[in-house]
Amino acid sequence: MTESLFERARASHLAGRTTEAEMLYNEAVAADPRCFRAFNNLGTLLEGRGALAEAEACYRRGLEVEPGAALLHYNLGHVLHRRGHLEEAIEAYRAAAAIEAGREDVSFNLARALLESGREGEAPAVLEPWLARDPENATARFLLAAFTGEAPDRAPDAFVREHFDAFAATFDTHLRSLDYRTPELLEKTLLRLYPEGAALDLLDAGCGTGLCASRLSPFARTLAGVDLSPAMLAKAETLGIYDRLVEAELTAFLREEADAFDLIVSADTLVYFGDLAPPLDAAAGALRPGGRFLFTLECGSEPAYGLEATGRYRHSRRYIEETASAAGLAPLLLESVVLRKEAGEPVSGWLVASELSPSPEAPPSSAQRKEYPAC
């Protein structure tokens, strides 16, 4: 009976019928309070819709039944991490690692939690065994560089793709739980820049699941999206809003799209670049005369940029202004804004609007791309 309920709940969960799945998971644990898999899956469902306290309670109940379940320890650590309970999160991640050594997701999040809690000296001890097992792992090398102050100019493609592929299923609900404001901020800026409306060839650069699509489409004659994550693009495709979706690295894509767009909008994508010169140069080359580039970044201090434990970069105002100017992008506005909340605290960012100055040349590229059909 319980196994049947669990399998039905799991099938509904995988199919996206979350209300039905939640009801069935609850029936399963009521029928058999020792069904720790139902507690785990119910916790992930609750966490996905932002019910973090309830999710934590589910994981803890599952661990009462099966204290040796590495996945429950990891999921408990993850929800505690999101709630800002860093020391408890570290303890849970370490428990998961002790039971099931070598899990990359555990190493990644444990290292982040250590750095965020001021225990950065302990992070290399987590990452170095990971690199010993897999010396060419781009994510482990990138994170270790962040902790040792030797940050590269940008996040590697593998890190970005793996991170967002894993995050795709719960991305939208997670951001809503963080009071994510970037799409609304960009829409308000577009209304200021185009008070009479517009019909533009528009690119959503780093489109993800398409969170900005409905806010961009009123300004678009054609709307294209580009992203590195195929799982995110698959969700964007279901919206039926984009005319074209492309799986590609952003700078390489832009370099192949000379004079293609009247407007490029990038919501929290350039935070995965430290050196902004390549993407801004490429964006300038992809814009038509008078075209505009709107983007957001996270606030950093002088002199230029720095890499955080999150894997995202922060940039200084002066650096943004100088790099945009060098790319031929004249400033229209550069405002300090609140992008979202993390652990209940506001995350400060920059909202930037720029316009192409006369006649910059687009750099050439031969990068390969994978195109998705029109929605």
Averaged pLDDT for residues 192-220:
96
- Does residue 334 contact residue 309 with C-beta atoms inside 8 Å? no
Return the structure tokens found at 200: 């533009």
Q: How many CB atoms lie within 10 A of CB 268?
A: 24
Candidate from 241-250, 258-267, 275-284, 336-345 with smallest mean pLDDT: 336-345
Question: Average model confidence (pLDDT) for the chain?
Answer: 88
**What DSSP state is assigned to residue 180?**
-
Residues in the chain: 375
Question: For the domain with range 171-372, which CATH number is right: 3.30.200.20, 3.40.50.150, 3.30.70.20, 3.40.50.620?
Answer: 3.40.50.150
* Residue 360, pLDDT score: 42
- pTM score of the predicted model: 0.76
Q: Which residue has the tokens 């919501």?
A: 267
Averaged pLDDT for residues 205-210:
96
Top-level class of domain 2-153: mainly alpha
Higher pLDDT: 242 or 106? It is 242
* Residue 375, pLDDT score: 28
- In terms of DSSP bridges, do strands 261-266 and 200-205 run parallel, antiparallel, or are they unpaired? parallel
Same fold, 2-153 and 171-372: no
- Domain spans, the chain: 2-153, 171-372
